[in-house]
């Protein structure tokens, strides 16, 4: 098995920043002159010229900047499985190989406003490398097998979009992972239980750093520093309680350690660095029940998922920026396999986040927050032909 992959993307991203957007949009006041007490400008916007940009102005508008990117990546990969003539053909050996060529260019420009924190600059990143996957799978019986897996990978480097010096790129981070697991079925294949334990070593990990989190939290530098050891377990259980009733349970646990995390200012932050968007515990429960009726089949579905607290910012020196734990409950009821006019129809009603959980689900550093979508209800009509 093999294939080719190609990806190309060109894009522009613009962002304006304000201290008081209402004054700018509604009154056209871009800055105040502390000497005259009047609205003022640097000459690129409406209003009288400010008397002293360095010491005697207060900007409402912080400027606009644009980042233009050009990404081109292609890869070729192949995978083969060999069953040696030993151990009663119960051993399968799989080897996969991938070659990647990744090219990235980016440029940042601004509108020239005197209070703009983002100076122009250009960066480029070039990466080509081989990665591999090796798997040994042994079938002890028709219902139980174990496997061991080793693989490598990487995350591409790039540019600090909100960094002070855009001309300074960050490099890629490298990953080596190992996994031991099992797959099993029993009770006449009515129960399926799979599990795995894994370990990952991330080198030159990409981190975000706020050089001035109090006065200039909009400045975010991305850089490479240190290594991370990540380990965890995953368990997945599915059981057919009856021919019509299916339940499922999955659980994951994750922990990690950092080492040699030196920030751009030369300080050691190993003890105050956390892995972002990595909940320590997470689980999901599902239940499905199918009820045959005269005109088709009524299907009931319920699922609940929960995840632990997780960090949104790696550096915790100035306090932890965390998304709190939350759970989501979804439900769906459908009438399926309805034959009408020689075709198959399905009618369904559903609810998402039906307990109306309103917890934050994403933080952009300490400056912006998004929240879970509120409870939603809907219906569907599906026509198969």
301, 180, 186, 285: which is closest to 236 by C-alpha?
Answer: 285
CA atoms within 13 A on the CB side of 243: 2
Domain end among 173, 201, 229? 201
Count of domains forming the chain: 3
Q: Is 353 left (phi over 0), alpha (psi -120 to 50) or beta?
A: left
Q: Which two tokens stand for residue 305?
A: 């998922």
217 vs 162, 209, 367, 369, CA distance in Å? 10, 10, 7, 14
- What is the pLDDT, as a whole number, of residue 54? 54
Which residue range forms the structural domain that includes residue 39? 20-59
- What is the pLDDT, as a whole number, of residue 221? 86
Residues 372 and 243 in one domain: yes
> How many whole angstroms separate alpha carbon 35 and alpha carbon 25?
24
In a domain, 76, yes or no: yes
Residues 7 and 142 in one domain: yes
Residues 38 and 96 in one domain: no
In a domain, 224, yes or no: no
In a domain, 220, yes or no: no
Q: Which two tokens stand for residue 9?
A: 């993307």
Cβ-contact 157, 170 below 8 angstroms: yes
CA atoms within 13 A on the CB side of 5: 13
In a domain, 325, yes or no: yes
Residues 8 and 144 in one domain: yes
Residues 68 and 55 in one domain: no
Residues 379 and 307 in one domain: yes
6 vs 29, 100, 102, 128, 218, CA distance in Å? 48, 10, 10, 14, 34
Cβ-contact 225, 202 below 8 angstroms: no
In a domain, 52, yes or no: yes
In a domain, 187, yes or no: yes
- What is the pLDDT, as a whole number, of residue 33? 85
- Phi, psi (deg, nearest 5) at residue 229: -105, 120
The DSSP secondary-structure symbol of 269 reads -
In a domain, 226, yes or no: no
Residues 302 and 364 in one domain: yes
Residues 4 and 100 in one domain: yes
Q: Is 37 left (phi over 0), alpha (psi -120 to 50) or beta?
A: left
- What is the pLDDT, as a whole number, of residue 366? 60
> How many whole angstroms separate alpha carbon 359 and alpha carbon 365?
16
Residues 266 and 359 in one domain: yes
- What is the pLDDT, as a whole number, of residue 378? 98
Bridge partner residues of 222 (DSSP): 208
> How many whole angstroms separate alpha carbon 52 and alpha carbon 183?
71
Handedness of CA 49, 53, 56, 62 (dihedral sign): positive
> How many whole angstroms separate alpha carbon 182 and alpha carbon 342?
45
Domain end among 155, 173, 201? 201
Residues 252 and 383 in one domain: yes
260, 254, 261, 349: which is closest to 298 by C-alpha?
Answer: 349
- What is the pLDDT, as a whole number, of residue 343? 87
Residues 262 and 139 in one domain: no
- List per-block mean pLDDT (blocks of 10 residues) for the chain, which spans 385 residues: 94 91 86 84 77 72 93 96 94 98 96 89 93 98 97 93 90 96 96 98 90 75 93 98 97 97 89 94 98 96 97 84 94 95 93 95 75 96 89
Residues 96 and 130 in one domain: yes
> How many whole angstroms separate alpha carbon 66 and alpha carbon 266?
30
């Amino acid at each position: 098995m093999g294939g080719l992959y190609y990806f190309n993307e060109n894009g522009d991203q613009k962002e304006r920043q304000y201290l008081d957007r209402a004054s700018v949009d509604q009154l056209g006041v871009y800055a105040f002159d502390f000497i005259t007490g009047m609205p003022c400008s640097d000459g690129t916007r409406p209003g009288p010229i400010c008397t002293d940009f360095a010491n005697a102005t207060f900007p409402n508008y912080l400027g606009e900047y644009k980042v233009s990117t050009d990404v081109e990546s292609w890869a070729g990969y192949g995978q083969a499985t060999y069953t040696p003539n030993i151990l009663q053909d119960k051993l399968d050996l799989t080897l996969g190989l991938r070659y990647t060529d990744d090219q990235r260019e980016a440029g940042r420009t601004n509108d020239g406003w005197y209070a703009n924190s983002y100076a122009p600059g250009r960066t480029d990143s070039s990466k080509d490398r081989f990665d591999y996957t090796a798997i040994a799978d042994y079938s002890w019986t028709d219902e139980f097998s174990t496997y061991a897996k080793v693989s490598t990978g990487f995350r591409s480097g790039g540019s600090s979009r909100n960094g002070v010096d855009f001309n300074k790129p960050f490099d890629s981070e490298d990953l080596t992972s190992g996994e031991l697991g099992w797959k099993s079925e029993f009770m006449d294949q009515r129960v399926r239980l799979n599990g795995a334990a894994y370990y990952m070593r991330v080198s030159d990990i990409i981190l975000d750093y706020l050089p001035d989190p109090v006065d200039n939290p909009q400045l975010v530098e991305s850089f490479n520093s240190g290594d991370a050891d990540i380990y965890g377990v995953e368990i997945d259980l599915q059981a057919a309680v009856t021919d019509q009733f299916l339940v499922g349970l999955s659980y994951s646990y994750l922990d990690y350690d950092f080492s040699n995390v030196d920030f751009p200012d030369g300080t050691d932050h190993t003890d105050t660095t956390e892995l972002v968007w990595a909940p320590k515990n997470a689980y999901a429960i599902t239940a499905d029940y199918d009820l045959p009726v005269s005109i088709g089949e009524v299907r009931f579905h319920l699922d609940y998922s929960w995840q632990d607290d997780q960090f949104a910012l790696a550096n915790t020196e100035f306090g932890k920026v965390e998304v709190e734990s939350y759970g989501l409950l979804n439900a769906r009821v459908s009438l399926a396999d309805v034959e009408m006019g020689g075709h198959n129809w399905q009618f369904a009603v559903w609810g998402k986040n039906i307990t109306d959980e309103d917890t934050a689900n994403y933080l952009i550093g300490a400056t912006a927050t998004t929240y879970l979508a509120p409870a939603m209800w809907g219906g569907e009509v599906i026509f198969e032909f």
